[in-house]
Amino acid sequence: MIAALANPRAFIRFSQWAAPLLGAVAAVLGAIGLWLDFTAPPDYQQGYTIHVMFIHVPAAWMSTFVYACLGGASFIGLVFRHALADAAARAAAPLGAAFTLLALVTGSLWGRPMWGTWWVWDARLTSVLVLFLLYLGYMALDAAIDDEAKAARACSILALVGLINLPIVHYSVVWWNTLHQGPSVFRAGGPAMPPIYLAPLLTMVLAYTAAFGALWLVRIRSEVWRRRAGALALRAAD
């Protein structure tokens, strides 16, 4: 499927219906997830603040998922020198930064009533913050190089370096200090969460993923159109 979509024209045709479809799926799933969320009873320990979880946890998952997409697209762009993969990597970065920022901000808002503090220098929080800085560095490098092809390749190298570094950063800060709770969904012995919370959480994760897919496709499309417009302007100037 990826090979078929590598042709920009085929991609434009595909994304023309895929992007709105994914957007609609995201809206429907998000509505269902929020409805499940608000009909769920308040947690016996956390009270109503449990509702923050359905915004916060999917955003935190997306922050790493988008980086994986960014790294994958960069790898394809770097190895196969594919222009569309470069466009995809470039389009993913601001989205990933936005999800990461959302995770940081909602986490901070959740931490205030639960932990009694806006921010602690805990392993999870710090590694997500470093991830946010990596996104910012990527975007800064992209913005600083004028030649687009060179910028794309430099950014791809940076994304791959970051991809290697991300697990190291994560485990180094875990080794350093941790207060954030451990994983409670993906762990040996099944999820440690009652289904009444797990259902809306997973729905929201799917909604976030669909929303990211829709926004990503739209951004890649606009990137392709922008390049085409640039090429047409060059041809007209000749």
Which residues of this chain interact with other proteins, rule CB under 8 A? 78, 126, 130, 133-134, 136-137, 140-141, 144-147, 150, 153-154, 157-158, 160-162, 164-165, 168-169, 172-173, 175-176
Smallest distance, other proteins to C-beta of residue 170, A: 10
- Helix, strand, or coil (residue 47): strand
Count, in order, helices (H) and strands (E) of the chain. Answer: 7, 0
Smallest distance, other proteins to C-beta of residue 154, A: 5
50-83: b or e for each residue (b if 16 or more CB lie within 10 Å)? Answer: bbbbbbbbbbbbbbbbbbebbbbbbbbbbeeebb
Smallest distance, other proteins to C-beta of residue 150, A: 6
Instruction: Identify which of residues 12 and 145 has a Cβ nearer to other proteins in the complex.
Output: 145
Instruction: Identify which of residues 33 and 77 has a Cβ nearer to other proteins in the complex.
Output: 77
With CA atoms as reference, report the closest residue to 159 among 220, 96, 103, 226. 96
Other beta carbons within 10 Å of 161: 13
Instruction: Identify which of residues 31 and 143 has a Cβ nearer to other proteins in the complex.
Output: 143
Contact 64, 238 (CB under 8 A): no
Smallest distance, other proteins to C-beta of residue 133, A: 4
Instruction: Identify which of residues 85 and 201 has a Cβ nearer to other proteins in the complex.
Output: 85
